[in-house]
Amino acid sequence: MSFKIRNSIALAVIVFIVSIVGSYVTFFYQPKKVDQNIKETKKIEAQLQDNAQQLSAIDQNQLKLRETLHRWNNRIKEISESDVSSQTYGYLSEIIDESGAQQLNMNLSLSGTTNRGVVGYNSYKISGESEFPNIFRFLWLLENGRKLYKVSKISIQSAELANDSLEYPNIQLRYDMEVDAYFTTESTLGMPVMRPDSTPQPITSNPFFPNILAQTPANVRKLINVDKISIKATANGKALIMNDDGKIITLQIGDEVYLGKVSNVFPKDGVVEFTLNDGGIVVVKRKKIEFENDNQ
């Protein structure tokens, strides 16, 4: 066999072997390796995603921790380890003095105790009489004070108190409330806190003041009582009247009288018109000249 033929055969064998190996690598080994790499990549991505979720959870927990610490360091309530009636009465007296509601009469009695393990509270019944601003300031300072006290029930009834020295009656309120004074076995909750730097909102109205009074306002300023006068003469915008003492007085439109004012004068008819407000009830009353007959 010639050298040329042997070389050709050897080259053909080498080509065949390379083709077989290349086909195996291309169609079997490489696809399998690629699949393994893809699976490994997905596994690593899943681990990275799980790590990201863990990091996010850690961030959220750290944020909650910071918020909790901030709330703790800035808390405005303290809970005593025990509660006795004398301490509660003393604390409520401090609130009364702070609110300026010295006229707030208060009766205090212990009605029961609720103990729930770490935290419990004593329930007190408080009753008394006072005016609305006093009760309002007391309740506001009680709810916003440094000790944890809560008003669980409250009932308020109003009554008019009038006398000859008051033009309008005072609206006296009778209040009954239940207040829970909390205590705890956790001593750290009793750590003193700073007194809240705030004051009640100014009182601009009294929701218990009725639109219509049950009693007629008193004539404290001794104004002319329309029911006790007689009309003697009328002119343009003016009138001469006589009061119950026999005194002649000149009135003109706009002048103040008891419960109202002079609203109009009708000279032709000899009539004077008064607009009166009887404790919320507005009426228009007319008084006319009464001429004596010839027989009198």
- Per-residue model confidence as pLDDT tens digits over 200-239: 677 778 888 888 888 888 888 899 999 999 999 999 899 9
Report the Cα–Cα distance between both ends of the chain, in Å, rounded: 179
The answer to whether residue 116 scores a pLDDT higher than 80 is yes
Q: What is the pLDDT averaged over residues 235-247?
A: 90
| CATH 3.50.50.60 matches 85-190 | no
Q: What is the pLDDT averaged over residues 154-179?
A: 85
40-58 confidence digits (pLDDT tens): 888 887 777 777 778 888 8
Residue extents of the structural domains in the chain? 1-74, 85-190, 226-288
122: closest CA among 188, 77, 178, 186?
A: 178
Per-residue confidence (pLDDT) for residue 124, from 0 to 100: 92
